[in-house]
Structure 1
């Protein structure tokens, strides 16, 4: 997880910008997925392989668990993180549509991270 976050810092000035946004997104997503898996393993669960299933597992944690995702949060991150990730990884020649889209996705990742890692 730390390696992915360090890589984000190294690509701050990378050009062209679409490449920088792509790499920022990929490294942020990998860091989030790693954090999700660590949290689930710490709760005695075998982490799933897909981000959608990881979100479901976090939603299924007991509500009094600090890493529990509410249903609203799970849907938000499903739309804001998972759908973006799938488009990024599975659609040929897809790049984030500029800094605003990249920043919105990074913000969703940061919010998800802060909810599950308390």
Structure 2
């Protein structure tokens, strides 16, 4: 997990201007995933990991829109960001296709909502975190290279 987070941080650093004041906040959010290992019991550590991973993803999606001067008209939600990446008409970056949009909505946005809107719901085990981290990496590699 540590290496994958290191890779994601490097990707974000490569695509988001160091002058952006939000960059370090996003990178620190990823560092907090690793620091969550100190929390006990494990189910609470795992929900914290999910929160930090998904906050870093959502913030990165927003920062990349900002970097490319693509408006999101105050729509600040992961699902809406994915729809913008699929349907925008700006030449500065490409678009994700409908299968990617559906994948990211299902595996990331809907997944986030499942935990954020259901009190007492916790990830079953560490594999859930690893799978989520893989999905986030796939998503960011694709979107940050549009």
TM-score (norm 1): 0.87
Provide the aligned length of Structure 1 versus Structure 2. Answer: 118
- The equivalent of 1:9 in structure 2 is 34
Counterparts in 2 of 1:9 and 1:101: CA distance versus 1, 3 Å:
closer
Deviation, structure 1 residue 95? 0.7
SS at match of 1:12: helix
Deviation, structure 1 residue 67? 5.7
Counterparts in 2 of 1:67 and 1:11: CA distance versus 1, 3 Å:
farther
Moved more, 103-112 or 11-20: 11-20
Who wins on radius of gyration, i.e. which is larger? Answer: 2
C-alpha contact (below 8 Å) 1:67/1:117 kept by paired residues: no
Output aligned runs, 1:25-36, within 5 Å. Answer: 25-36=50-61
C-alpha contact (below 8 Å) 2:104/2:139 kept by paired residues: yes
Any gaps of 5 or more consecutive residues in structure 1?
none
Distance across 1 between alignment mates of 2:115 and 2:28: 21
SS at match of 2:37: coil
Q: 1:42 and 2:67 equivalent? A: yes
Measured on the aligned residues, the alpha-carbon RMSD in Å equals 2.0
Distance across 2 between alignment mates of 1:114 and 1:34: 15
Any gaps of 5 or more consecutive residues in structure 2?
1-25
